[in-house]
Structure 1
Amino acid sequence: MKKFILFVLGLAALMVLLANMGPMILLAVSVWLLYVVFKQFMKADSLGKKIGWTILGLFILSITFSNIFAVMGLVAAYGLYLIYKEWKQDKHSDSYTSDQSDPFVNFEREWAELNK
């Protein structure tokens, strides 16, 4: 039942991620443009150029902050990562049949594999 719930949650997160792929790309482009504007601002010599780069940077920053859907896509991507990690953890926990609290059981298993 747990795997089914993880599958359904993963499917929903994947749909949200795919639906918000466009805004996520726009967010990445706007963050890159902010980086370029900042570099050009630092290179500018005159006050007029610095003011121009600041105005352009504020305009791009407003585009960046308007992408709330991209943030939802990032949250969905992080949710997919957590679901994948939980799925893998369940897979590994099923393979161990020995008592994990006894340190000698693990030692005996490792010693037996070394002696093969």
Structure 2
Amino acid sequence: MKKFGLLVLGIIAGIVAVASLGNLLGLAVSALVVFAGLHFYLKSDSTFLKIFWAIVGICGLFSAVANIPGFFGILAIVGVWYVVKKWNNQSVSFSSPIVKSDDPFVNFEKQWNELSK
């Protein structure tokens, strides 16, 4: 019964993700426009260019608001990822894994702190 629930959730999330690909693309372009507007606003020196890039950033924000269904697509992609992880009996963790290495050059600062104590 658990596999059936995962299958149904995966199918529904997959359909929602595919159906909102256009909104996801629009959301990505809007984010790019907002980022460019903010970046060039901070780099510009003249008042005219600051006003121009502020208007570009505001237009990008309005476009992002118009693509709110793209957020449902992001949630659907996360749902598909969750279903795949659970289907393969893998743990779902949002923390970064701790990688241990024996290479002294990788953990130089850690070893230096241990030596200087």
Give me the TM-score of the superposition, normalised by structure 2: 0.72
Tell me which structure has the larger Cα radius of gyration: 1
Which stretches in structure 1 are left out of the alignment for 5+ residues? 91-116
Q: How does 1:49-60 map to 2 (within 5 A)?
A: 49-60=49-60
Q: Deviations over 1:8-35 (max 9, x none)?
A: 1100100000000000011111111211
Q: How does 1:1-116 map to 2 (within 5 A)?
A: 1-89=1-89
- Identity of paired residues, percent? 36
The question of whether the paired residues in 1 share the 8 Å contact of 2:37 and 2:57 is answered with yes
The total of aligned residue pairs comes to: 90
Question: Structure 2: how far apart are the matches of 1:39 and 1:2?
Answer: 48
The question of whether the paired residues in 1 share the 8 Å contact of 2:41 and 2:54 is answered with yes
Deviation at 1:81, TM superposition (A): 1.0
Q: Deviations over 1:60-89 (max 9, x none)?
A: 111112212100000101111111111111
Q: Which residue of 1 aligns with 2:94?
A: none
Question: Structure 2: how far apart are the matches of 1:48 and 1:33?
Answer: 18
Aligned with 1:45: secondary structure?
coil
Question: Structure 2: how far apart are the matches of 1:29 and 1:37?
Answer: 12
The question of whether the paired residues in 1 share the 8 Å contact of 2:27 and 2:67 is answered with yes
Aligned with 2:88: secondary structure?
helix
**Greater share of helix:** 1
Stretches of 4+ moved more than 6 A in 1? Answer: none
Question: Structure 1: how far apart are the matches of 2:46 and 2:6?
Answer: 57
**Paired letter, 1:71:** F
Question: Structure 2: how far apart are the matches of 1:42 and 1:78?
Answer: 33
Aligned with 2:89: secondary structure?
helix
